[in-house]
Structure 1
Amino acid sequence: MKSSLFFALICLAMNALGQSSSVARVDTGTIGGARYRIDIPANWNPKRLLMYAHGYETIKNKRGNLSGGTMESFTKKGFAVAQSAYRRQGWAVAEGVDDTEALRQYFVRKYGQPDTTFITGHSMGGMITLATIEKFPDNYQGALPLCTISGNLYQSLQNHLFAMLTTFDGLFANTVALEKLATGTGTPTAPEVIRQKLQADSLLGQQFARRFAVKYSDLPGTLWFFQEIYRDLSQQAGGNPFDNSNVLYSGFPDDALVNRRATRLAAQPKPRTFLGPYTTFSGKISDPVLLVHTTYDQLIPPADGTAYDAIVRQAGNDRLFVMKFTDGQGHCRFTPAQTEAVFDQLRQWAQTGQRPVAGEVR
């Protein structure tokens, strides 16, 4: 049940698993401890390359995250697709940036310099996409981050993931072992248990869901997944990385009650800095960036997904950024047709300099 819920949340848009009919050759192996997969299409002429960065993968997930996914949307357009599994599971933005670049360099050495190279990725892979296009602009013609946090990563995680867990822990006592999760010793509470607790006080559960703009039916899976991420972050950091000691929660029917009951956890100095060099994006881009988000996302609120607009404007690069949206109801709920449409727009923008119009993807 847990495994299926995870893939329902993260891989909703990935419905073309395995090698597609447009792929002529698959190259697999390991680089620096990171597995990789390269799909080369039959019509690979001219030599076009797409680097793909996958999303968050729960620790000890045995399926791995190197499948065909939505790669057919790109391979059938004549693009070779290269993707790294990263050298570690879980939160791996820094590793994802480095391992994706190592794979790109391997590709160039083995197959030659592509005529054009783009990068894309879903969810955490979108963060890797943004960090990569800022760090290695000369290697790409454009970037397509999808359903991702595009602002300050620490603040986004603290204000949504951590806030949901601490307030839920206070309102629905004895449901999640948050303090144990903070030390990396707790076990995430299963969605079924969370659902039972919510059903015992459905009115409070519905109020809680509205406060965080999450559908009531999505709460059990979302809270379980957030526990998985929180435990992973705490283990990597060596302790709780967030701090709500001075946070005043609002937007609930009874804010005073929530603030009395919310679990308060202080961060240690080292864990607060563990996210490393890609905590904040700079907006210093020299290639077109087309970001796409859904109007409803239980994991990454639209405000967090579209924060990059303010960052590039501050950097004076808003001419190189466009945000598009779909009416998808859930995390990364894009249809193959929508993925192809925005990828075509990015390619045309890079080739002609004609900036796409922001707005809905139809």
Structure 2
Amino acid sequence: MTPAAPQGPEAAACPETLTGKATCYTGRDANGAFYAIAVPTHWNGSLVVHAHGGPDLGDASDPARSVEDLGRWSVMVDQGYAWAGSSYRRGGYGTRMAAADTESVRRVFTEAFGRPGHTYVHGQSWGGNVAAKVVEVYGGDAGPYDGALLTNGVLGGGSRGYDYRVDLRVVYQYYCRNHPRPTEPQYPLWQGLRPDSTLTSTGLRARLQECTGFASAPGDRTALQQRNLDDILAVTRIPERTLESHLRFATFTFRDIVSGRLGGRNPFSNEGVQYTGSHDDAALNAGVERFAADPAAVRDLSYDSDLTGKVDIPVLTLHAMDDPTAFVEHEAAYRAALEGAGRDRHLVQTFTDEHEHSALSDSEYAASIAALDAWVRGGRRPTAASVAARCPAYDRGYGTGCFYDTGFAPAPYASRVAARPGGLAWPAMTAAQEREWSRVAGVGIAP
């Protein structure tokens, strides 16, 4: 499919939160990705390039997504930074694709408005994975990026960062037997959902309710529903309030990864995993579906989304300790990657006593980008305490709170997610394989 001709940037209405504070633009890049740009009335000369989360599913770029994200993170523009964000050229998984589209919108901005004094990349949720990949692919010493802010990031990478959803998919089916039902075509659960299924999110929610009564008050659940719910939550350690969203990901996004991006190959494994916490662990471990990953599929997913730790610019992270979607232990995985590469001097991690995934306090976002900017400009690496100390001054304006816990350190990633004994070993991609992967994935911007 040939991308549409590039468009813009052309003047557009700003989100309501930026009325009178900025001039906004929208357009479409050469890869077909829609984007949004904002330039503050009182621009400080620097740019924040935003990588959005998700991934959203669908075949086409969504023109509304980048505009909505501009509204969500208008605090950056309010603080004087220009902002640019891509909707990505299509929905569905593809970390390097999204990173390329993020780099593309930076180039669009530079061509239209000139090279900023400093350029920072920001990503939240899966966008944190995307932004971290931007750092590794495009952010070398002589690259265009000066620093990165990763907030509530999915930093464990695709090859292991979704293992708890793999566990949810098989544990759910063990107890519920309705996804698929015995009367429906059967398929291996690592597919998430068979490619030709017409199941919708609404239909999946109905099946989850049927099995667990999760949307009902406890007193309105049957005894079996309550036991099913208790066992699923205890074994997977997924919070009840995000059980449905995790199951959606383990259904529809897994289908996209396996059927849409990996040619039907399986990148997931639960061989040797010992599930614990249920009312009958022996029966669960004997009856749960087991499968082994295809090493080539793991290699390709790892190449796309795993993080090597090869970081040459300052990276500041902000993560809610009770993030119910991207567990805070993702931060431990990211630190381990940088330590393994000998680059942890480029990393400062901060944590807050917050309980949501999709949005944190505006006061903390403002303090974080200010701390990153000061680090880049002055060369002095901050501490978690010094970042937290900036927050009250911004909170006087935003009033959204400062919730830092400067003494917190996350436990290792393996403490939260059932270990895969032995792991997998696979050869690194050859140059020819990388070119073929890039061709199939449609990644059009070279580092």
TM-score bracket, shorter-length normalisation: 0.7 to 0.9
Partner residue of 2:311 out of 276, 285, 290: 285
8 A contact 2:79–2:366 mirrored in 1: no
1:182/1:228 CA distance change after superposition, 3 Å: closer
Equivalent-residue separation in structure 1 for 2:63 and 2:90 (angstroms): 14
Secondary structure of the 1:310 match is helix
Unaligned runs of 5+ residues in structure 2 are 1-13, 182-186, 214-223, 389-402, 405-447
Q: Which residue of 2 aligns with 1:97?
A: 99
Q: Which moved more, 1:74-83 or 1:102-111?
A: 102-111
* 1:42 corresponds to: 41
**Is the 1:282–1:315 Cα contact (8 Å) retained in structure 2?**
yes
Equivalence for 1:5: none
By how many angstroms is 1:173 displaced?
A: 1.1
The 3 A distance-change label for structure 1 pair 96 and 22 is: farther
1:178-205 deviations in Å (ceiling 9; x for gaps): 6474442232542243023113421331
Larger RCO, structures 1/2 (Cα 8 Å, 6+ apart)? 1
The 3 A distance-change label for structure 1 pair 52 and 22 is farther
Deviations 1:340-362 (A, max 9, x none): 12222211221222322237753
Q: 1:22 to 1:206 in 2, by over 3 A?
A: farther
1:326 aligns with 2:356: no
Which of 150, 154, 160 is matched with 2:159 structurally? 154
Q: What is the CA distance between 1:261 and its match in structure 2?
A: 2.4
Report the 3-state secondary structure (helix = DSSP H, G, I; strand = E; otherwise coil) of the residue aligned with 1:292. strand
Structure (1 or 2) with the larger CA radius of gyration:
2
**TM-score normalised according to structure 1 size:** 0.86
For residues 16 and 170 of structure 2, the distance between their equivalents in structure 1, rounded to whole angstroms, comes to 39
Q: Is the 8 A contact 1:22 1:72 kept in 2?
A: no
Identity of aligned residues (%): 24
Distance in 2 of aligned mates of 1:256 and 1:87: 47
Q: 2:157 touches 2:302 (CA, 8 Å); kept in 1?
A: no
The whole-number CA distance in structure 2 between the counterparts of 1:335 and 1:17 is 19
Q: Distance in 2 between matches of 1:41 and 1:287?
A: 25
Instruction: With the length of structure 2 as denominator, give the TM-score of the two structures.
Output: 0.71
Indicate the residue corresponding to 1:58 in structure 2. 56
Q: Does 1:356 align with 2:379?
A: no
Question: Compared with structure 1, are the counterparts of its residues 24 and 358 closer, same or farther at alpha carbon in structure 2 (3 Å cutoff)?
Answer: closer
Q: Describe the shift of the 1:306–1:276 C-alpha distance in structure 2 as closer, same or farther (beyond 3 A).
A: closer
C-alpha displacement of 1:263: 2.3
For 1:133-172, what aligned pairs fall within 5 Å after superposition?
133-137=135-139, 138-157=143-162, 159-172=163-176
Q: In the alignment, is the contact (CA less than 8 A) between 1:86 and 1:92 conserved in 2? A: no
Kept in 1, the 8 Å contact 2:34–2:63? The answer is: no
Native 8 Å contact 2:265 2:297 kept in 1: yes
- Flag structure 1 segments of 5+ consecutive residues without an equivalent: 1-15
* CA displacement 1:89-132 (0-9 Å, x = unmatched): 02131111111111111211111110011010111110111111
Write out per-residue CA displacement over residues 281-306 of structure 1, whole angstroms, 9 at most, x where no aligned residue.
12121211011221123322221243
Of 112-121 and 97-106, the range deviating more from structure 2: 97-106
Take 1:285 and 1:118, find their aligned partners in 2: how far apart are those partners?
Answer: 14
Count, aligned residues: 345
Aligned 8 A contact 2:86 2:102 in 1: yes
Change (3 A) 1:216 1:245: closer
On the 8 A contact 2:193/2:252 being kept in 1, the answer is no
Q: CA 1:71–1:129 in 2, change beyond 3 Å: closer, same or farther?
A: same
**Residues 10-21 of structure 1 mapped to structure 2, 5 A cutoff:** 20-21=18-19
Q: Aligned pair 1:208/2:219, yes or no?
A: no
Change in Cα spacing, 1:307 to 1:267, as seen in structure 2 (3 Å) is closer
Mapping 1:144-293, distance limit 5 Å? 144-157=149-162, 159-176=163-180, 179=188, 181-186=192-197, 187=199, 189-199=203-213, 200-236=224-260, 237-244=262-269, 246-253=271-278, 254-268=280-294, 271-275=297-301, 277-293=303-319
Contact 2:258 2:267 in 1 (8 A): no
Greater strand share, structure number: 1
Amino acid at match of 1:285: V
Counterpart in the other structure of 1:113: 115
When the two chains are superposed, the root-mean-square deviation of aligned CA atoms in Å is 2.5
- SS of the residue 2:18 aligns to: coil
8 A Cα contact 1:88 1:95, kept in partner: no
- State whether residues 170 and 263 of structure 1, in contact with CA within 8 Å, keep that contact through their aligned partners in structure 2: yes
Give yes or no for contact 1:27–1:39 (8 Å, CA) kept in 2. Answer: yes
Please state how far the C-alpha of 1:165 moved relative to its aligned partner: 0.7
